[in-house]
Each structure stands twice: as structure tokens, then as C-alpha cells.
Structure 1
Amino acid sequence: MARPIMIQGTMSNVGKSVLAGGLCRVLRQDGVKAAPFKSQNMALNSYITRDGLEMGRAQVMQAEAAGIEPDVCMNPILLKPTNDTGSQVIVNGRPEGVMSAVEYYRRKKEFVPAVMEAYARLASRYDVIVIEGAGSPAEINLKQDDIVNMGMAEMADAPVLLAGDIDRGGVFAQITGTVMLLEEEERRRIKGTIINKFRGDVSILKPGLSMLEERTGIPVLGVVPYFYLDIDEEDSLTERFRRKKNAGLVDIAVVRLPRISNFTDFAPLESLEEVSVRYITSPDQFGSPDAVLIPGSKNTIRDLLWMRQNGMEAKVLQFADRGGVVFGICGGYQMLGQEISDPDGTEQRGTVAGMGLLPVRTVFQQEKRRTRVEGNFLVLEGALKELSGAPFAGYEIHMGKSTLAEGGRALASISEETVQSGIPGDLIPGDGIPVDGVPVEGSTGRAHPDGACRGNVYGCYVHGIFDAPEAAGGFLSALLKKKGCGPSEIRARDWKSYKEEQYDRLADIIRQNVDMDAVYRIIEKGNDAPCIL
């Protein structure tokens, strides 16, 4: 069985996911077969595995850093908030239904067998399991029946590294207070602490580190500097929403919906210095973008009504009326249509008019479509005709079925990489497009049309559609051409190779700032490892 090591944090957003990803990369570079694990994750930014199962994006990032295929065993429970008090509960990649927080906590023990079965499957195949906690282990109102922090550490018999965030201040109180609120047996599991997101000269910090070790009896194993790398995030607290970037050749506005999901769809565009990607929440931030992107949402109707009430929808409609490029993905695609209906209350019971920019009507159903796809853009009109024929690959994850109106134009031809039970793809033919098993030129497998386009407005269900350099490059070239610039002024990256470079840089940062010799001793000896000051 694999040896475990666990990274817990003093609170949310201290950098646990990135530190775990960095440790996975270091282990891979050192020839150790490692896999990530997080028993319970709460996130709207999810991913579909090759076998059609849903998991949190952070464990996908960590699996990529470890050089292995993402597996739903790495995240057996995923909570996707639908409102302030309830979440869709996904167990082993499949939805179990929507539960209130009270109901989930009452039933949490029922999920322990699923958690431990997933962990055992991973532990039988790898040398080291890098476990990530959630929030803080010192939430004393939630400690009973905990399955993600010290409760998980006990079930896996894992030694713990405790990380604190110095950037937001109070890191010594964070770490000391967390340790004080733990039971003695839990404190003994903590073999080292890490101070994360430090800016400045470490020598100034050293007296505080000595006092911290004296107070807690636990060694400080590293001070990790504040850094920025293009690494996928899944949390709504992500700094990318607040990051300011100098104006580039292309200005893209992304509507930051209250329940935004899968915002990493735009990471390949954000990574380019010549491209400015702005996340906007109010009409006065709209500006004069070259394109507006509307992302996915965990509550499409409610987020559309939010846009309608705060004036953002009117801005998008005015922009489209002037010939501006609008592109919606998943929930954003649904919003651009004529109507959205949710008769069973899958997300938000009722029927509302869409923005009316695409000839599409959406009806929500209880079954969720979960599949990996690949395909090509069809022959497009409007500003994005440069994208015609470009290949892409990604995944679909939604509970709405969208129907293209008679005579409507589809955006792309796709074929499914995985076969799974769920809502079938859009199989409504438009403009003579072959469907249901009839090959479409340039695609493989059983191809069918997907998405819709009209004028300069486009939409589809495919997450990750800009990951392929042909798709991102064609999109940006079209925007440059529309504004009278040479289409070759921006060159899209090979996103996969670029991410590999980022993971290697992350490993370098971990090696330079964390005592990896001590970490290896802790992995080797587990909870028998002494706290050496």
C-alpha cells in the first residue's frame, strides 16, 4: 500500500491545492509514483474523466503534475453549490441529487465507505498518496464526523503538513490557533508547518519562525514565496478574477456570473501577454471589448436574471447589436438562446426568456450529460469564420438539452470519446448537417452537430474548447482581423506543453523553499516520524 502525506491549511485559499500539486511534481521528477487525493471537495470548476465521471479540477491539476491520468478515485465526493444552503452531491463521479447543508452533514457518514474504497484503489497502484484537506481542521463546529481533514488523516493514518497564508496577515496566529484547537492526538499528526505566499526578505521573518516553533513544538519546514503560475484553479476565491493586466492587442471581457463554473475554459487566452482577459461584474466595467465571453453557471436561470437585473444583459445585447463578438459556453450558451425551462426544479424551477441571440431553446432534465468530446468547427459565418474547420477537444457537463430551431446553424461537429448514460448530444439537424453515426468530414466516430451560431454570436457546450492552439489561435486571429490588425500578431500556445513547463517551475519553487529531505523522512516514517526542531 502507498505511503500517505497530507497537506492541511489554516483556512480556505491558503494554497493547499498548489502545494499538493507541487509536491506531486517533485515526486514525479524523483521517480516516485504519486497520486493526489481529496475525499470531499466543494467547487463549481469540475472536469469529466475519460470514463465519463465528474471530479474536481484541483485533483486534475495535481494528477497532471504527477504525470498520470485523472481518475475519479482522486476525488470521490464533489459538492457543487446550487445556492447559499444547498449543493449537488456527486459521489464517485455520479450525481446523487441536491442536498441542503443540514441533510448532507446528517448523511456524511454514509459516504465514508465510498471514500475509503476510492482511497484503497489508489493506494494499491501508487507509491505515495498526496492528500489535500479542505478549509481548516480547526472548525470546531464541523469536527464531528469529519471526513476531509483530521478525520481523513486518521482513516489513512497520514502525517500532516500544516500550511498558513502570510499574505493576508496573521499567519502566526493562524498556525498557533489551529494547533491549539486540535486534540492532542491530532496535534501529534502534524509533522511540520509551511508558511505560504511570503513577500519580502526571509531573514526578517526568522525570529517569528523561531517563536512559532517554540509555541507549537512543530518545525517550520518551509517559507514559500508569493508567485504566480498559469495553473488551473477551481475556487471562486481565485485571484485571477481580481488580477489587473496591461491592455493587450485583444481585449476580452468575461462576465463573472455569481455562480460561475469552469472559468478555466479561458486560461489559454489569459496566458498570452498580448491578450487582456477581464472578469466583469457590472455594466460600468464593460468598456469596449473585442469579444464578450459568457461562461458556465451552476444556476443558469438565476445567473441570467442577475444579468438582467443589474444591466449586464442590456450591455451584451447592445454590444451584439453593434456587431460585437459574443461567445457562450455551457450555461452561457443556454442564456444566449430564446428560452430556458426547468420544469422539475433541477436548478431553478420555472421558465424564462433567454437573450434571444441564438435560435436555441433549452429544457433542463434530471439526468446529467457527462462526456469527453472532440470535433471541428463547421463552416462559420460572421467574424469568427477564421475558425471554420479548426479542431478542438474538451468535455461536456450539463443537465440541459438544447434544441436548435429549424434552419438554425450549428457551431461544430463533435464525436464522443466516452459512452455514458445521460442526456444525448444535440441531434437536431440544421442546414443538411449529417447526424447520428454519419461521419462528418474531419471528425471521427459517431458525429453530430453541437452548439449554434448567428451573425457574430456563437455558443456551445464544450468546456476546454480553447485548449487546442488551432481553436485559440483561430479565435484570436479573427478578433485581430476584425479590428484591422494582422492575424499573425498573436500566436497561441500549445496549452498542454505550456502547462508542463508551469508544473516544472512549481517543482523548482518547492525544492528551493521547502525542506524536501524532511518531507521524504516524514513520508518514509509516517506518523512515527519525530518532530525535530
Structure 2
Amino acid sequence: MARTIMIQGTMSNAGKSLLAAGLCRIFHQDGYRVAPFKSQNMALNSFITEEGLEMGRAQVMQAEAAGIQPEVRMNPILLKPTNDTGSQVIVNGEVRGTMSARDYFKYKKTLRPVVQETFDSLAADYDIIVIEGAGSPAEINLKSDDFVNMGMAKMADAPVLLVGDIDRGGVFAQLYGTVMLLDETERPLVKGLIINKFRGDKTLLDSGLETLEELCKVPVVGVAPYLNISVEDEDSLSERFDRSQEAGLIDLAVVRVPRISNFTDFNPLENIPGVSLRYVKRPAELKDPDMILLPGSKNTMGDLRWLRESGMEAAILKQAAKGKVIFGICGGYQMLGDTLHDPFGVEDGGSMKGMGLIPMDTEFTQNKTRTRAEGRFQTLSGDLGGMSGAAFSGYEIHMGESRLKDGAYPVTYMDDTVSGEAKEDGGYCKNVYGTYVHGIFDRETVTNALLRSLAEKKGISMDQLAEMDYAAFKETQYDILADELRKNLDMKKIYEILGLGGRQDA
């Protein structure tokens, strides 16, 4: 069985996902077969594996850092919030239903054997498993039947590194308070403390670190810096949403709907010199972009209603009337049609009018489409004609089926690599385009064709924009992450905690 180490945090967004990814990269660089694991993930960003199973994107990112293919064993339970009190429950990649928080709390005790079996299976295939917790282990109201934090650490016999976020303030109270709220069986599992997101002179922390170690009886194994690197974030706590950015030579605006999902679709467009990618919530923030992007949504009808009530729909329709390029993905694509019907109550039930930009009707079905796809863009007209023939790969996750009407044309043709079926996808009319394929922009050929089309419309030379290989860019980011953690964490001590203290070059 694999050696194990677990990253837990004093709160959500303390940096657990990123630190786990960094350790995966370090262990991979050091020659170990390493895999990530998170028993239960709550997020609206998800991914479809080669087998057509659904998992959280945080573990996909960590698997990439570990140099392996993501698989659903790395995240056996995924909760996708549908509203403020309920979530779709996905177990081993397949939907079990939608449950209220109270109903799931009762149901989850039946999932403990699933978590144990899945973890044991994964651990049998690797040298090291890096486990990520969720939220905080000090949520004393949620400890019953826990298999996410200390309950998972006990199941996996995993030593715990507890992470506090100094950027939010009160990091000493975070760490000490969390340790003190653990019970007598849990506290000995904490083998190291990490202060994360530090900026400034670390020597100013020394006296505080000494006192913290005395109080907690646990060593501080590192002070990790605030890192400005670009890797995929786990959920909508993402700091990228709060970035203030001036419009670039090519300006892209993503509409930040309340139930935004899979916003990682737009990450490949973020770091290209000369290109700005802005997340906007209010009509005044939209300004005059070169393209408006409508993202996926876990509640398409609810988010379309929000667009209407906030005035964003009117602002988008005004831009569309001016001939601006509009591009929707999954739920964002569904919003662009004429009507949305929900006869089975998959979302809000009933019917509602769409934005009317693509002649198309969408009906929500009870069966979820989960698959991967390889294909090419059709011969397109309009301002994105330059994307015609560009090859892409990606995946689909949706509950609805859309039917094009006269005046609309499919955007892509592709092969469903899970079922082997060949099919057309998406729809467009004039300068409004949409697709069900997540990850559509991940390939360099697609991104460059998109930017070339927008630059041509604007009269800008592509020489003013830098082309980027997104896959290669991500690899450099994982290496930077590993390098920074090696400098700022006591890797020799961490290897000792793992039971691999013989490594002298850590």
C-alpha cells in the first residue's frame, strides 16, 4: 500500500488544493508514483474521464501535476450545488440524485464503505497518495460519520499537515484554534503546520512560530509564499473573479452568472500577452468587449432569470445587435436559444423564453450526458470563420438536449470517444455561437484561430499577440509551484513524516 500524507486547512480556500498539487509535483519529480485523492469534493467545476465518468477538476489538476491521467478513483464523491440548500450527488462518477443538505447528511453514512474501497484500490497502485481535506476539520457540527477530514485521515492512516491562510489575517488563531477543537484521537494525527500565502519578511514571523509550536506541540514545516501562478482553481472562491483588469488589444468578457460552472474553460485565454479576460457581473462592467462569453451553469434557467433581472441580458442583446461576437458554452449555449423547457423539474420546472439569438429550443431531460469528444469546427460564417476546420478535444456534461431550427447551423462535428458515435454539436447564427463541449479552447490551434479571427475583425496584426501552447504553459506552472514549495517547506521533515526519512536530497 502507498505511503500517505494529508493536507487539511483551517478554512475553505486556505490553499489546500494548490499545496497538494505542489507536493504531487515534487514527489513525481523525485521519482515516486504519486496520485491525489479527495474523498468528497463540493464544486461546480467538473471533468469527464476517458471512461465517461464525472469528477472534480481540482483532482484533475493535481493528477496533471503528478504526471498521470485523471481517474474517478481520485474523487469518488462529487457534490454539485444546485441551489443554496441542495446538491446533485455524484458517486464514482455517476449521478445518484439531487438531495437537500439534511438528506445528504443522513445518506452519507452509506458512502463510507465506497470511500474506503476506492481509496484502498488507488493506494494499491501508487507509492504515495496525497490526500486533500475539505473545509476545516474543526467543524464540530459535521464530525458525525466524517470521511473527508480527520475521519479520512484515520481511514487512510495518513499524517496531516494543517494549513492556515495568513493573507486573511489571524493565522495563529486559525491554526491554534483548529488544533484545540480536535479531539484526543485526532490531535496526534497533526504532524506539521504550514502558514500559506505569506508576503513580506519571514523573519518577522519567527517569534510567533516558536510560540505556535509550543502551544500546539506540532512543528511548523513551512511558510509558503503568496504565489502568482496560473493553475485551475477549485471553485467560485477563485481569486481570478476579483481581478481588476484593463482591456487589452483583444478584450474578452465572461459573464459571471451566480451558478457559474466550469469557468476553467476560459483559463487558456487568460495569460496571452495583449489579451484581457474579464469576469463581469454588472452591465456597467461589460463595456465594449471584442467577444462576450457565456459560461456553463448548474442552474441555466435560474441564471438566465438573473441575467434578465440584473440588466445583463439587455446589455448582451445590445452588443449582439452591434455585431459583437457572443459565444456560449453548455448552459450559456442553452440560454442563447428561443426557449427552455423543463418538463421533469430537473431545474426550476416549466418553460421560459431564451435570449433568442440562436433559433433553437432546449428541453431538459432526466438523463445526464457525460462523454468525451474529439472533432473539428465546421465551415463557419461570421466573424469566427477563421476557426473553420480547427481540431479540438473536450468533454460534455449536461442534462438538456438542444434542437436547431431554420437559420441555425451546427458549430462542430465530432466523435464521441466513449460511445464511438459520430455527431454534430452546437449551433450558430450570424455572430452568435454555442457548444456543449467544455475544454473547447484548450488546444493551441483553437485558441490561436479564435484570436486570429478577432484580431482580423479589429484590424490588429497577430504579430502583436503572442501565441501560447496551453499544455506546455501548465507544465511550467507546476514546475514553478514545486520549485517555490521546495524553497519554503521543510521537505526533509515532510519525507520523515511520510516515513521516507532516508531521502537525503529532499
TM-score bin, normalised by smaller chain? over 0.9
Amino acid at match of 2:177: G
Amino acid at match of 1:512: K
* 1:160 lines up with 2:135 in the alignment: no
Which of the residues 512, 516, 521 maps onto 2:496? Answer: 521
Q: Is the 8 A contact 2:223 2:489 kept in 1?
A: yes
Q: Is the 8 A contact 1:477 1:488 kept in 2?
A: no
Corresponding position of 1:53: 53
Paired with 1:29 and 1:237, the residues of 2 have a C-alpha distance of: 29
Corresponding position of 1:386: 386
Corresponding position of 1:76: 76
Corresponding position of 1:474: 449
Q: Offset of 1:406 from its aligned partner? A: 4.0
Amino acid at match of 1:520: Y
Amino acid at match of 1:463: H
Corresponding position of 2:411: 411
Corresponding position of 1:447: 422
Amino acid at match of 1:18: L
* 1:357 lines up with 2:360 in the alignment: no
SS in 2 for 1:369: strand
Pairing of 1:159-308 with structure 2 (within 5 A): 159-308=159-308
Q: Is the 8 A contact 1:46 1:234 kept in 2?
A: no
* 1:27 lines up with 2:49 in the alignment: no
Q: Is the 8 A contact 1:5 1:131 kept in 2?
A: yes
Corresponding position of 1:10: 10
SS in 1 for 2:496: helix
More displaced stretch, 208-217 vs 445-454: 445-454
Q: Offset of 1:199 from its aligned partner? A: 0.5
Q: Offset of 1:404 from its aligned partner? A: 1.2
Corresponding position of 1:373: 373
Q: Offset of 1:512 from its aligned partner? A: 0.5
Paired with 1:262 and 1:77, the residues of 2 have a C-alpha distance of: 17
Q: Offset of 1:489 from its aligned partner? A: 2.5
Amino acid at match of 1:118: T
5+ residue gaps, structure 1, are 420-444, 527-533
Q: What does the per-residue CA deviation read over 1:8-35, in whole Å, with 9 as the maximum and x for residues that have no partner?
A: 0000000000000000000000001110
SS in 1 for 2:155: helix
Q: Offset of 1:198 from its aligned partner? A: 0.2
Corresponding position of 2:400: 400
Pairing of 1:57-136 with structure 2 (within 5 A): 57-136=57-136
Q: Offset of 1:488 from its aligned partner? A: 3.7
| TM-score of the two chains, using structure 2 as the length reference | 0.98
Amino acid at match of 2:38: K
Q: Offset of 1:522 from its aligned partner? A: 0.7
Amino acid at match of 1:26: I
Q: Is the 8 A contact 2:197 2:224 kept in 1?
A: yes
Paired with 2:120 and 2:100, the residues of 1 have a C-alpha distance of: 29
Q: Compute the RMSD of aligned alpha carbons.
A: 1.2
Amino acid at match of 2:359: P
Paired with 1:285 and 1:302, the residues of 2 have a C-alpha distance of: 21
5+ residue gaps, structure 2, are 502-506
Q: Is the 8 A contact 2:54 2:370 kept in 1?
A: yes
Q: Is the 8 A contact 1:6 1:133 kept in 2?
A: yes
Paired with 1:245 and 1:509, the residues of 2 have a C-alpha distance of: 26
Q: Is the 8 A contact 1:478 1:487 kept in 2?
A: no
Which of the residues 452, 457, 461 maps onto 2:432? Answer: 457
Q: What does the per-residue CA deviation read over 1:217-250, in whole Å, with 9 as the maximum and x for residues that have no partner?
A: 1100000000111101121100000112343211
Q: Is the 8 A contact 1:48 1:372 kept in 2?
A: yes
Corresponding position of 1:440: none
Paired with 1:157 and 1:245, the residues of 2 have a C-alpha distance of: 45
Corresponding position of 2:504: none
Q: Is the 8 A contact 2:273 2:465 kept in 1?
A: no
| Number of residue-to-residue matches in the alignment | 502
Which of the residues 488, 495, 505 maps onto 2:470? Answer: 495
More displaced stretch, 488-497 vs 46-55: 488-497
SS in 2 for 1:167: helix
Q: Offset of 1:4 from its aligned partner? A: 0.9
SS in 2 for 1:70: coil
Paired with 1:407 and 1:453, the residues of 2 have a C-alpha distance of: 9
Paired with 1:386 and 1:43, the residues of 2 have a C-alpha distance of: 35
Q: What does the per-residue CA deviation read over 1:407-448, in whole Å, with 9 as the maximum and x for residues that have no partner?
A: 5311111111112xxxxxxxxxxxxxxxxxxxxxxxxx6432
Q: What does the per-residue CA deviation read over 1:481-509, in whole Å, with 9 as the maximum and x for residues that have no partner?
A: 11111134323311111111111111101
SS in 2 for 1:31: coil
Q: What does the per-residue CA deviation read over 1:176-197, in whole Å, with 9 as the maximum and x for residues that have no partner?
A: 0000000122110000000000
More displaced stretch, 486-495 vs 446-455: 486-495
Paired with 2:234 and 2:386, the residues of 1 have a C-alpha distance of: 31
Q: Offset of 1:207 from its aligned partner? A: 0.9
Paired with 1:319 and 1:311, the residues of 2 have a C-alpha distance of: 13
Q: Is the 8 A contact 1:410 1:450 kept in 2?
A: yes
Q: What does the per-residue CA deviation read over 1:367-406, in whole Å, with 9 as the maximum and x for residues that have no partner?
A: 1100110111111111101101111110000000111114
Paired with 1:304 and 1:329, the residues of 2 have a C-alpha distance of: 14
Paired with 1:289 and 1:247, the residues of 2 have a C-alpha distance of: 8
Paired with 1:348 and 1:111, the residues of 2 have a C-alpha distance of: 28
Paired with 1:43 and 1:351, the residues of 2 have a C-alpha distance of: 27
Amino acid at match of 1:524: G
Paired with 2:174 and 2:94, the residues of 1 have a C-alpha distance of: 36
Q: Is the 8 A contact 1:370 1:396 kept in 2?
A: yes
Amino acid at match of 2:297: S
Paired with 1:191 and 1:399, the residues of 2 have a C-alpha distance of: 44
Q: Is the 8 A contact 1:4 1:159 kept in 2?
A: yes
Paired with 1:361 and 1:456, the residues of 2 have a C-alpha distance of: 18
Paired with 2:407 and 2:432, the residues of 1 have a C-alpha distance of: 16
Paired with 1:374 and 1:69, the residues of 2 have a C-alpha distance of: 17
Paired with 1:407 and 1:232, the residues of 2 have a C-alpha distance of: 37
Paired with 1:348 and 1:31, the residues of 2 have a C-alpha distance of: 50
